[in-house]
Amino acid sequence: MKLDEMHEIVKAITYKPGWSIDLHLDRTVVDGAPRESRPYIQISVDATAEAAKCPFTGQVAAWKGGKRYLSEHMCRQEIVGACLGAFKDAEMHEIHEWFKYKGRSIYNPHIDPDALVELVKYKRNLNVRENAMSMEEST
């Protein structure tokens, strides 16, 4: 699929007010010269969207989601599906930030993975039922 076809597909997709998805080209350097290469899609959330409010500071700021690279070998359905997946991932990111237990965002995607490694080193920090593997009920 050609880049202009990808662009037409992506620009036909809409979501909530303040949310958009755009097609971009990665810029790489080959032999010292900048060159555009792989196409990717990326979610943008502007300051008017409800999701622009930070769950930690309360400040409102526009933000962008992660990149999803596309291939020239993709069909329309795959590109549309990748766009849907990008919106799902952005929403799940927000859910994980906003969901709190005892006032803390315990599923926050911004938690340092090295800090989590330290936490799970100790068996006392794991919470598992005694019969979790067998699921056998005691009588």
Distance linking the first and last C-alpha atoms of the chain: 61
Q: Between 55 and 14, name the one with better pLDDT.
A: 14
Tens-digit pLDDT profile for residues 43-82: 999 999 999 998 888 899 999 999 999 999 999 999 999 9
pTM of the model: 0.83
Cβ-contact 101, 28 below 8 angstroms? no
Residue at token pair 């409800």: 50
CB 23 within 8 A of CB 37: no
What is the pLDDT, as a whole number, of residue 12? 98
Q: Is 44 left (phi over 0), alpha (psi -120 to 50) or beta?
A: beta
Distances (CA, A) of 20 to 10, 12, 66, 72, 91: 10, 11, 13, 22, 13
